[in-house]
Chain A
Amino acid sequence: MHDPNFDLSDIEKGSYSITLDEISKIEGAASLDIQIKENKVVDLKFSISEWKRFYTQAIQGKPALAIPALVSRICGTCSNAHLLASIKAVENALSITPTEQTMLFRKLLYHGLIIRDHALHLYIFALPDVFKKNSILDFDMHDPIEHDFLDDAFAVKEAGNQLSIVVGGRSVHAPTPMVGGFIKLPNLNDLKKLVPALLAIRPKIVKLINLFAQTTFFHEVQAPFVFTSLVSHDFSYLDGQIQTSEGISIEEKDFDNHLNAVIIPYSHARGFSFDGELLMVGAIARLTLSSTYLHPKTKETVSPHLALFPTKNLFYNNLAQAIEILHSIDQSIELIENLKDILPETPIKPTTYEEKTGIGLIEAPRGSLYYKLELSSQGTIKKGEIVVPTGQNQVIMERAIREIVEELLIKRATKEKIIYEVEKFIRAFDPCMSCASHFLKVKWS
């Protein structure tokens, strides 16, 4: 909601404030306060206004095997990312190596998440900006282009949704994946039946990629910054090494040595820098650092667009997400088609418990998601730390918003135009406020 309480004469002098209490069409609640005097930004605060639920405290003392199903509740949007990152951390602490079949199903579950989560963001949140509409609800059903995009939105989401349901039992807070494997295995026939739907949405995503490649949305951050992501050789989001756009390669266990927490006093969540530099994670970082590992069919289809990366135009995060959907479609089809039978495996159980810290880092849809869980010799959690993508992006996001507002003020843009452009930019980042507001900084002695 906009603040209606401003004095017109002040506006004429270029002095006013902008208050956005609830930024729309993003995941969760965020707010923005801007103070403008004589057409200059004197203060700008982008804050996460979700109320904390204190998951890092709540997991203390609970059995490690029960943690994944609990932390999944940090975020309804990317619940399966929290599920798999925490499973990875617990397995790491318990020295459990998942089987090849378990990893295959985790990858399929994850491709389902990427398809439905990126599709929600691109079609429901970002697409109205491309068509200069408030909402996908305002799309004109008599306009063939708008009508088709509306149909595409729900067909694509449904294909990802079904893939998640068949593999994990449900697309949100999947009940079957657990530490050591799957409590219930997917059915081979159900998996095979997904292929036609995945093939059918492929051309729809190619259309979406072309659309986001053609948008003129543009902003490059006027400061050095670093992209980081986990780079895996099959672009599976689930394993590999952390790499940065400065060519540094680090192991998962060393990740938090490079991250520095930045306290943002007015926000319910904390921000981060990477070795003291501005940091950006997410699809744009992954496409910058590992596009060579995309599925061959994806690469063939999108080769002209891949030339746009690396880029500093942060609006291309939308394009990068669309390309990732195509990769997840192509990868899922190949994995399912190559699957001949399903072995009747049961989850691997821990043999002993010892005092040990486990690390689990994966690429959530919005960027690197890090779990560090310290286990007791009874198999309970002594302490935990969770670093989410939106926290890592919060500092660069606020800086970029300030730059955009300053540019628009030079052009004497109206208040409404500033609000529209800023919201459009925040949406391109695809921030997730639920994720960002689960925790409180834990002191590690």
Chain B
Amino acid sequence: MPKIRIGWFTFTCCEDSTIIFTELLNKHYKEWFERLEFVHARVLRKDDTKEIQHMDIAFVEGAISSDTQEKKLKKIRQQATTLVAIGSCAVTGAPSNQRNFFKENQTVEIKEILAKFKYKEKVLKLSDVVKVDVVIPGCPMNEQIFLDLMNKVLKQQ
């Protein structure tokens, strides 16, 4: 049986869902390591591939803060059969998008850094940029919804 090709990507966030994922591995690593191929997962392995590879499922956490992030997300979308938005920042933009709601005096304080590093004017949720197939909300992601999805995926194969 071919392994299911997985990607795990992180944009602007605190990576809490990555941490929850590594904690879920505690009980599921035997099954998941046998059935899943981690094509891209910087938290688990060094990635020497020059381009984003084809994936059955791309899990994406975090919000989009820059044009480079937006471009990468679009590449991920092209290469992923299913794209799953993981956790609150990916699904709703919050709390990483809190600068979108700053008052004028706060915006003035951060203006210089936004310009210097070419931040986007507004922080975006994933569905502002690409089509999202499945969402797993929560801050961090809801473990049970994630496990239900994994079980469904593993059964389908």
Contact = CB atoms under 8 A, between A and B. Distances in A.
Contacts of B66: 51
B25 A76 contact: no
A423 B46 CA distance: 10
Interface in B9-45: 10-20, 22-23, 25-27, 29, 33, 38, 42-45
Interface in A161-186: 161, 170-173
Contact of B46 (A50, A120, A134, A158): A134
A354 B125 CA distance: 39
A75 to B, nearest CB: 5
A281 to B, nearest CB: 20
A194 to B, nearest CB: 14
B106 A76 contact: no
B96 interface: yes
Interface residues of B, number: 44
Contacts of A58: 95, 98-99, 102
A124 B110 contact: no
B47 A50 contact: no
Interface string A149-162: 01000110110010
Contact of A161 (B11, B26, B65, B109): B26
Given A25-B43, A53-B98, A120-B22, 18 more contacts: A22-B47, A28-B15, A51-B11, A51-B65, A51-B66, A54-B98, A54-B102, A57-B110, A74-B14, A76-B17, A76-B18, A77-B15, A77-B19, A135-B44, A137-B44, A268-B117, A434-B13, A434-B14
> Size band of the A side of the interface?
35 or more
A34 interface: no
B137 interface: no
Nearest to B94: A73
B110 A25 contact: no
B145 to A, nearest CB: 15
B50 interface: yes
Contacts of A51: 11-12, 65-66, 69, 117, 119
A2 B49 CA distance: 9
A137 B33 contact: yes
B140 A76 contact: yes
A159 to B, nearest CB: 9
Contacts of B49: 1
Contacts of B15: 27-28, 75-77, 434
Contact of B50 (A1, A57, A434): A1
Contacts of B119: 51-52
B25 A154 contact: yes
Given A53-B98, A57-B106, A76 B14 contact: yes
Contacts, number: 128
B47 to A, nearest CB: 6
B14 A171 contact: no
B16 A173 contact: yes
Contact of B140 (A116, A124, A138, A173): A173
26 contacts: A22-B47, A25-B43, A25-B46, A29-B10, A50-B12, A51-B11, A51-B12, A53-B12, A57-B102, A60-B106, A75-B14, A75-B15, A76-B140, A79-B14, A135-B38, A135-B45, A136-B44, A157-B26, A158-B27, A171-B19, A171-B23, A172-B20, A172-B23, A268-B113, A434-B14, A434-B15
Interface of B: 10-20, 22-23, 25-27, 29, 33, 38, 42-50, 65-66, 69, 95-96, 98-99, 102, 106, 109-110, 113, 117, 119, 139-140
B95 A73 contact: yes
Interface string A206-225: 00000000000000000000
A150 B33 CA distance: 11
A4 B10 CA distance: 24
B45 A54 contact: no
A28 B61 CA distance: 12
A44 interface: no
Contacts of B33: 137
A1 B48 contact: yes
A24 interface: yes
Contacts of B96: 53
Task: Find the residue from A116, A150, A158, A434 having the highest chain B CB count within 10 A.
Answer: A434
Nearest to A56: B109
**3 pairs of A and B residues whose beta carbons are closest in the complex:** A76-B16, A135-B45, A51-B65
A224 B130 CA distance: 51
A54 B99 contact: yes
Contact of A172 (B19, B95, B106): B19
B46 A24 contact: yes
Nearest to B103: A61
